[in-house]
Structure 1
Amino acid sequence: MTDTQRRGRRIRLTPAELDAFLAAQRTCRVATVGGDGAPHVGALWFAWDGTALWLYSITRSKRWAQLRKDPRISVLVDDGHEYGELRGAELTGRAEFVGEAPRHGDPCPELAAPERLFAGKYFGMTEMPHDGRHAWLRLTPESVVSWDFRKIPG
């Protein structure tokens, strides 16, 4: 095992740190794959429920169209300004479309928790406002890579 691999384990976020980090951060970068294989990256707001990352995407976006054809997705959430402050997580897997698209607010028990989290985080509300333009994507990560450079000694 190399020193780099050992350092990677030392600076990895613990499960509790990862949950707290993802709950606190506001913006993620979402990478999808186009039909020609070219990547597309865009910023989105999200909610983390401890198991899945919930993305509220415009249904007429390039991201949405690409995920319909190829559900592979990678999401980066990061923070920090100086090198020693950098921390983040990359979550990868397959996007799942959940609920009506676009979302008008029809009852969907599966969306109750993520909509409550999202509405509180971004709007300071207890209920999700629906605009008929967005819909939900769920990423239950198949892989998570995380780091916290604040853990690097001296």
Structure 2
Amino acid sequence: MKSLIEDQSEILCVESLSENLRRKINDFLSRPLIAKIATINADGSPHVVPVIYSWDGMNLYLIGRKRASWIENIRRDPRVAVLVDDPNPPNSRVLIQGEAMIVGTDWVEMGKKMLEKYMGKEMSQKYLEGTIDQPRWIIKIVPKKITSWIISEKDAVTRKAWHPRYYEPGTKWYEEYIKEVGSFKS
């Protein structure tokens, strides 16, 4: 039962991930899923946009247009949250909270790889031909906290779909869970 708690845990740094959870997160983040980055507007309100990404096992990389609002937000306040989710059951997802930094403008090589992952070679080449002269930034997101919800389809319809901290003490599911796995840290 340790893996259940581990698979839906909050990780405070990438180095502390178990090998099993690191593999699951790496496998999940290697898929061509659309991420949503949340930044903070100047007035303090949230700003969320869809982005494509690259994950190197430690950090998340994005490429942003020089004039994009979220880039200006990062320049002013580097705190971000990025959600990568699969809209299909069992709706697995990974939330990365951390700090974003602009690490360069030489984006073309990374951009080609990212676009091929999402669009395929032919379509990505056509896209690049029409936009390659437009300035972009490479953004590196260093995770401070990673929360994952990576479960099997089989477990998605059982009490294993929730982290134990969400169960209300005294309910049937809570009591069955405690009976099955014992106590847990909330």
Give the TM-score category using the shorter length: 0.7 to 0.9
- The answer to whether the aligner puts 1:122 opposite 2:109 as a matched pair is no
Instruction: Give the conservation status (yes or no) of the 8 Å contact 1:40–1:63.
Output: yes
- The answer to whether the aligner puts 1:94 opposite 2:91 as a matched pair is no
Higher helix fraction (1 or 2): 2
Instruction: Kindly provide the amino acid, as one letter, of the partner of residue 86 in structure 1.
Output: N
2:6 paired residue number: 9
Q: Which structure's CA Rg is the greater one? A: 2
Aligned-pair identity (%):
26
Normalising to structure 1: TM-score of the pair?
0.75
Higher strand fraction (1 or 2): 1
Instruction: Kindly provide the amino acid, as one letter, of the partner of residue 6 in structure 2.
Output: R
Match of 1:143 among 138, 142, 145: 145
SS at match of 2:74: helix
Match of 2:88 among 53, 56, 81: 81
Match of 1:55 among 55, 59, 62: 62
Alignment partners' CA distance in 2, 1:25 and 1:94:
23
CA RMSD after TM alignment:
2.7
Instruction: Kindly provide the amino acid, as one letter, of the partner of residue 95 in structure 1.
Output: A
Alignment partners' CA distance in 1, 2:91 and 2:115:
28
Aligned residues: 137
Give 1:123 shift. 4.9
Instruction: Kindly provide the amino acid, as one letter, of the partner of residue 38 in structure 1.
Output: S
Q: Is there any run of 5+ residues in structure 2 with no aligned partner, and where?
A: 10-19, 159-186
- The answer to whether the aligner puts 1:39 opposite 2:41 as a matched pair is no
1:71 paired residue number: 78
Alignment partners' CA distance in 2, 1:25 and 1:15:
18
Q: Is there any run of 5+ residues in structure 1 with no aligned partner, and where?
A: 1-5, 106-111
Shift in alpha-carbon separation, 1:96–1:104, aligned structure 2, 3 A: closer
SS at match of 1:86: coil
